[in-house]
Amino acid sequence: MPVKVGDTAPDFTLPAQNGSSVSLSEFRGKKAVVLYFYPKDDTPGCTAESCAFRDQYEVFQSAGAEVIGVSGDSSESHQRFTAKYNLPFTLLSDKGDKVRKQYGATAAFGLFPGRVTYVIDQQGVVRFVFDSMLNFNGHVEEALKTLQQLAAK
């Protein structure tokens, strides 16, 4: 069953591009998290989406949020991808797509990796879900809008 607005975001620990392990629970009580699942490093759509997050990264940081990208690519692939496009945020390697499946971030009848973004507040509650394979910039715009609404409350 996919994770939806109002659910507590499932915790996980995955390897990052720098070799460290990152757990979602590390951010609880400290920062909101914009968690975006994307299909594959260095493909046109995923590059556009990741660069859009990069270009707004300081705005996300100012809004008290950390951006984390997740795909099934290896940590080495993520390392090359972040270096090539100067991505300032963490990319996590979800080998076997276990976390992706846990969140329900799949597309096309659950057969292919989907492009889904979750905004998770400081308490670990999902406040927004955006699911679109083709609206790359929408993931960034909608996540920022959600963070601004949360800050206004």
Domain limits, the chain: 13-152
- As a whole number of angstroms, the distance between CA 65 and CA 85 comes to 21
Half-sphere exposure of 10 (CA within 13 A, CB side): 15
Q: What is the tens place of the pLDDT at every residue in 48-79?
A: 999 999 999 999 999 999 999 999 999 999 99
CA distances to 24, 33, 47, 121, 134 from 29, rounded to whole Å, are 11, 11, 31, 9, 33
Is 46 among the residues known to form the active site?
yes
What span, in angstroms and rounded, lies between the C-alpha atoms of 115 and 88?
20
Q: 16, 46, 99, 120: which is the annotated catalytic residue? A: 46
For the chain, the C-alpha Rg in angstroms (whole number) is 14
Q: Which CATH number fits domain 13-152: 3.30.70.20, 3.30.350.10, 3.40.30.10, 3.90.105.10?
A: 3.40.30.10
Measured CA to CA in angstroms, residue 84 lies from 37, 61, 89, 100, 121 at distances of: 19, 22, 13, 25, 30
Bridge partners, residue 105, by sequence: none
Q: What is the pLDDT of residues 104-139, one digit of tens each?
A: 998 766 667 889 999 999 999 999 999 998 898 999
